[in-house]
Structure 1
Amino acid sequence: MSLVRQLWLSVILILLASSLTNFVISTYFERKNLQEQLYLKNVDDVNSLAMMLSQDDRQLTDIQLLISATFDAGHYQRIELINPEGISVFLREFKGEMESDIPALAKDFFNFQVKPGIAQVSSGWNRIGTLYLESHSHYLHEALWHRTQAFFLSFIVISLIAGAIGSFVLHFLLKPLEMVVEQAHRFSEKRFMMLPVPRTVEFAKVITAMNSLAQRFKSIIEDGNKRLDELRYKSQHDDLTGLANCEAFETLLDAQLKYRDREGHNLLFMVKIFGMNEISLRLDKQKVDKIIVDFAHVIQDFTKQIEGRYTDVRFGRLSGSEFAILLTEAEDIQQLSDILVDVVRTFKGRSRDLYDLYVLHAGVYLAPDESRTTLMRRVQSLLIEASKERALALIDNKLTIVAPYNDDIQWRKALNAALNDNIHSVTFPVVKKDGSAIHYQALMGLELDNEVRKGGYFVHWARKLDMIPQIDFKMIEFMLNKIEQESSAYDYAILLSYETMVSERSLQRISQLLTEHSAAAQHICLEVRESVASANFELFRHFTLTLKATGCKIGLKRVGDSFSTLLDLQELGLDYIKIDSAFVFNVAINASNQNFLRGLCSLAHSLGIVVIADGVTSKEDADSLYENGFDGIISLMQQF
């Protein structure tokens, strides 16, 4: 039984006990008082009647008439005259039943026992006899019964009023208890949140203790994040600009080429500053370094100007004056190149020291089954050719996979048709060390032009047409129906886009859909990219708390670069994270990544978060990951 019900029961029992006690005591004294009053009435009436009978010389017939008249005029139970020899001379007694709504049980409970009034009747000096008079107690029963009814009616009214007041007071008093229960519930969900301390001393002690626990967890997370960030930064970032260093970016490219969607609209820009050697001869090192840092900021700002036209972005500093930008699921390379030219032109106009610099870039689409060496050779060849021609940019806009649709209207029509009738799912397992599945990763496939295409083929057009939230919703709906139709006991993970996460309307539609399919929703895992969550943390918090209430699981994908920036991570109750393939690729021979991932696993496990490696390509990497604490992997090979 809940504490609230116990308190209510206690209050009701106390109120009932006190009221019954009060009723019994008051009824007892009221009954006693009425008995005394009735006895005094009997005495007064019998004395008055005896005086009337003792006047003059009355014959027995006269006495009988007076007694009968008195009996008929009043409310008497018995009037009896007994002569000195003890023989009843005359008796009038009420033997009938009076109409009454008083229950027999109440009559037995009241049970009036009133002594009769006694007086002597005489004629002169001669004693005629003794007169006994008893008043009828029926009216006392009625009076006491009506009083009892009024008492219980007032008890009910007072109880209701007291209940209403008590309910309000109890709600106010138990509000801190609700906070304690809510905090404990959040702790059970691995959400270590701090709450305000209430005024109630006992509750304040509990919440203070639990807040201390939450604060310790927060400190552990912050310290762990700080150490992880330092470790990751030293091994993977350029000290001067903060961008990925050459080795880290090359690993990222390897992972992208071997693991990512090969139908994707992914592109690589290489940007180079010419003339840095000449500037370094006339400027000190500090100013030269500042130029490099400022330029790194400029190319990072470039992505802000094309926000919404790509899915993910990575930057790298390949050499002293050479930078790289990797954009996934991006729009037309020519349009993006033109924007990059404008951004660089703005940078050159900032200072006279930059006039002698010549900045150009080359851009290519990533091709399926292409190695990193081949890709870099292609883009560097374009860069050399651009420098010879003194061109600001040179791009290769040839796509290896050409879509049959040419404009917005054709793409919208094709996507709508596919979403209505031709949705497919491509699933592959996330496996533990023993080979069992944690869940299945589910990717959407749409039948376009009589062929099932993965997301990379159409996402950039769907984004341009503002259809991304619709696509995500349809994928969730499709998987819910699949789970229900197949009575599946497996969980399925679905990657949601930035556009869906930040849209309140989309969030409410998904929440309603999951609520309507509550049983199947227990087998749905929804995830977003780490970069999206870290850049929009408050929206991600809202997203997480809203959807976890429906029973689904929430995770992060492509984790690594920004994990340390996720503040108050202990409050979210994440179920799992998937480490980016860039950190997993060739981890067996990368000691720095092993140290980073080992620390990341330890930190995540302290919060009850399952850690999964994304895009494992070899048995050696898989063994290394399991040894360093990973719970599961997504393998590119069917068997090791």
Structure 2
Amino acid sequence: MPSYYKISIRIVIIYILMSLTWLFFSDWLLLEHFKNLPVWLLHAKGCFFILTTGIIFYFVIMKRLKETFANEHQYRLILENATELIAIIDNQGILKYASPSFKSTLGYSQKETIGTPVYNFIDFKTLPESASRLKSRINKELEGDFVSILKHKNGRCVIVEGKGIPISETNGKVEQLLVLAYDITERKNSEEKMEYMAYHDSLTGLPNRNYFRTSFNRAIEQAKEHNQKMSVIFIDLDRFKAVNDTLGHSIGDDLLIKIAETLKSCIYENDVISRQGGDEFIILLNNSSYEETSQIATNILQALSTPFLLSGHEVYITPSLGISMFPRDGEDVETLIKNADMAMYDAKNKGKNNYQFYCNHLASTNFRKILLESKLRKALQKNALTLHYQPKVNLHLNKVTGFEALLRWNDPDVGMIPPSEFIPISEETGLIVQIGNWVLREACRQTKRWQTEGNPPLCICVNISVRQFLDDGFLESVKLILEETKLDPEHLNLEITESIAMSDVEKTITILTELKQLGVLISLDDFGTGYSSLSYLSKLPLDFVKIDQSFVRDLHLNEENKNIVRAIIQVAHSLKKIVIAEGVETKEQLDFLRQKKCDHVQGYYYSKPVPAEQAIEFLMNDLQR
């Protein structure tokens, strides 16, 4: 029973008891003292009763009203200052009361809300069922705990969470519903943002590794169920690090964003593209044949052949693509990605800017790489690497003035392994710095030994890799090795490639300047094959410029190569640099270079790279031919 019924009944009972008590007591009292009761006294008795009960009820009602008004004031303050939405809805779904918070939360005033159907504020577009069905049972939906999406006056969606409490029932039927709800839009948006960030790359917005693998597993199950083919394209950007280091990480990030947009434009809507990290992307092509995959790979190569304009720079980038097919190349995520990755490295080995499909021989190639890596580490520990030396001949003096130290590896199990195979492995594994320091130390030690044996002063040339040159401890390593071997710095010639020189021009100049201050000679190797400009060439503190053997090899067949060699010699001499031509194999090549005033040559015409014992024998022989 509601409390107001109880209070009303209590007041009536009190009044009846007081009235009966007064009636019997007053009549008995008057009859005891007055035998002949005058009429006016009876009237006075009634007036006294009315006055007395009126005063009593005045104080009772006043006390109750004070409590009621105080409670009402408290409740009104709570309602007016509550941030939650508070509403009373009748059984027709009409708002009978709406708190002022409707204005701040939904943009509607109380005047605009009271008397309005509650479903006018619900965004039915976001609900799975029809508006008409929901309208018919709106109160039932709001009873108990609920989450709903409401419409703000400006059109945006507001997500609310709340509870509906029946406050008026007749014969078990809810007549009115008290609804308490609060805005959880910001919380929901934060949750959705966190979930999005957990499965998407923060830079490009593409699905990340976790999302991709989940989608991939689902796609494999569907492909098995419907007997469909799929393909995986593993993409790695060529020379991205050079762009990043030269133009800055900000432009590098912008480039990745542009590339992501370009890649998305090359695939279909049901395909999945993911950034795996760094400059690697993976594309999953659903229900795609060999021919369709080839076409998409071709489209990607064409799309990325166009330069990107970033902060005033025209940036060219090329990709290497590796492709594996489901189910031919694997039936699980790990195998397909691994095989696509191997195919991508195959594309890099075949000149980059192309695509290659996975084939079985790549697995054996990959096994060989793992085997060679293990053996290379052991060879380094056991000092099992060797150096061969190729003489460098001064054409003006017609005598040997130095040697180039070249690394060789003869494994007892595998046999002779070419540098073109084990050097890339050492670069991938990071062993190149350790190996490079060993080569430098061994070359300096051997040169000093030759000198102490009474041979003419010789200059030893040592190739320096990019990673070794840019290593923070490179300069200290050179100083330490020169001190250990006691070789004069002027007898050491360090060879760097154009790619080293251009990777970070300012840092390169700083390092080369310090090397020059030590007295070390510097050569620019493979000149003409890279992308350095003459302005940079003039800034670098170089002593020698080496003409790449690719230009020397076809001198007698290619007039264009003759012009290139002639131009390199002229430019280098104009910049006061000494010119060395490598790869000289014939007398015709030698005669041409001598005629064009080339300073030094080396190549098989004189000698192939040989062990130290044979190298010193060659030094003793007559060089006239």
TM-score tier, shorter chain, comes to: 0.3 to 0.5
Q: Normalization by structure 1: what TM-score?
A: 0.39
More contact order relative to length (CA 8 Å, sep ≥ 6):
1
